[in-house]
Structure 1
């Protein structure tokens, strides 16, 4: 066959840049969306934040008049209906009222906080027991930097300081010394003539640092260091030290009968000794949080009003945007200059960006409303009343594709009276019940957690026994499934849950 040119007609689905932008904004989390909005504000002069108390009508009217080449607005643009911020709740802003609230000059003997309320003036006093400065600091600190800070306060020679820095570098995030002292000693310059005894002495100095138990070489030494720091009058301290030093392996195997015989203690006495050991921290390094704290900002707020569950967007997390009326007034339709073309393109992008934000909020509201409609039992009674729910159910209810529902529910959070949950938390698989119904996996996990919490500590429930108890409630679950749900809840096997209680 000879190559030839053929003209054909066909249809093809093409994603416009505006649609791509809407989809990208849809899958962003609240924090990422705020960053995206800030970048749009920095790059597009037509966009600006809508502050509280400002009149929103004038911006769209001026933009509409500018599009028509008029000097004054003639009618309200339809763009106002698609904007994120509305003027229903906005109040008229009076500059005279604002100027009256600010005095012309401040007295020389007063501070700014005496007249204006700031965030610092709202901080609780030092006498408040609930005040926790560490919980309100955002900068994380590594364990190594925390130990080096204490090392700088400790008087020691240059050689000992070199040894201490080397030892601190060998301590992992859990607070344990990873390297062997012999290997550490061999790693120093032979001209320094550092012996292992010197390294061990410096290690003892580091083990006196905070957090207590840091620098230990194994669990036994870590617990012994923490017991050593307790007051001498602590009850059962001597027995706890003896148990850690001589019988820690027996305690790990939970052979309490053998432990009582070896330590010559009664059951109640051994229980109190074990409680003292359990109050210690086997991972002291975990007390120092190196990573930055991550804050969850809910996208949707759910509350109950007059026996009805109401869903609303978190307006505080969504900055309100509008078109800058001054810049929009410079745009003229008949002008084809480069500056006017640039401003017209920026105005078009600003409108599309605000429209995409509104589309994101509307889709999020539809999905959240349907989720609340399906999971009213969870909101009223807790996890045990969670119903099975999949993406297809919500997609059918809102008339969208499952992929869109997946984007909406990813990294989006809902604030409920029971806590803050990711939207994906409300989706779960199901198992069949004896009556022919369905039970969600979330409800089964809640039931398992409840059964374990109420079990006899001396004879904990095995996975087979839990499966049998679930079957008595009409829930048909295999033992392997119970084990999988138990592990996802962080519950140890029955052999490790045995306690002297």
Structure 2
């Protein structure tokens, strides 16, 4: 078979992302701290960029955003005149490049975006990424990773996230459950149930509220928690004073048993979170404020303190461009102008996009703001994206590392996205939390052995109530609530009789 060379033409379609769109995508996903660091670096690098100091003047507060005010029935989502739908999954990125400021079309390489991410320094090279990826995982990250696979969802997952954020570096929960319950608008029993799940996470003993509770969790994990150990933990002050006689009386044990018990206590870890990496604590500043208005309205406004305020110094540009002689100097001035113009426009579009997404989230989750965490509605990225006319990837970038201050506390925007369970009758979807509550009610109603429902029977009952759910999902929810299987429940009821 002879080989021969030939030339042929093929026509096809391909998606090309313009440099401007790449810049906008990366700018949108930066947190306010990362954005501040990047803008500071640009102010030093670009002589045509200048900090906007007009906010200090009494008049002309042109850069501030007016609050969005709306009722739950009618929300004006058109606050952003220039929508920045930065998804590369949508068509014609070239169309979005039109209408840019003068010279912005040439700004592709003017801004070095390769260093804008993860809050690293912009004065170093890309080696910082390797260091950031290999840094020790923090305790909070470790707990959140376990939360994602714990089976908790809906209100319980939201409450668990709040409790994890209140865990200190040592692994102790530094929050009062009654205060958290009041702030979230839920019952203390729900938080107690969630805390029980969190205390089953690794490392053993985490999320305890005191040293005795931390040690008790570790002893239970080793199957060494008995009444004598419980008495010892209740009298740790006597152990600290070396009052062995008092400990023996309190625990009801002899010298040899006491020595073994004390040895076991010393083998435990009083600070279970100390094994995890730490990082400098940085205060979280909200990107959006949500305040209660009149007549069931919610005011949504951007936090102007987190918005970098820069402008292009046109006077200085006119001066240096007139003085430029060589082609190299003229090119440098032109690139600086294009870079500065694009950055100013992108910052404005980013702020308006965040406001638009936040307003839709508040409209969807008004029940949570008004009544508490148990009224979180099922919500996903697609629902918000369709409501505001953007792509899911854009909403995902907007909600990542962005925080919303509400009357119920400070939450990351991703907090408001909860899972849903479809209705078998084609009606409105059920939230996962409401389904879990129904499962718990069915099991709590079991009084005698013959009333015990298997997981399959619970599936049938829920489907009769219009909830389409799989048996494995029922089992997952039951285990997450620390409810034994039907076989174990029957045995327990039989023994109780």
TM-score by length of 1: 0.49
TM-score by length of 2: 0.49
Determine which structure has greater relative contact order: mean sequence separation of CA pairs < 8 Å that are 6+ residues apart, divided by chain length.
2
Larger-gyration structure (1/2): 1
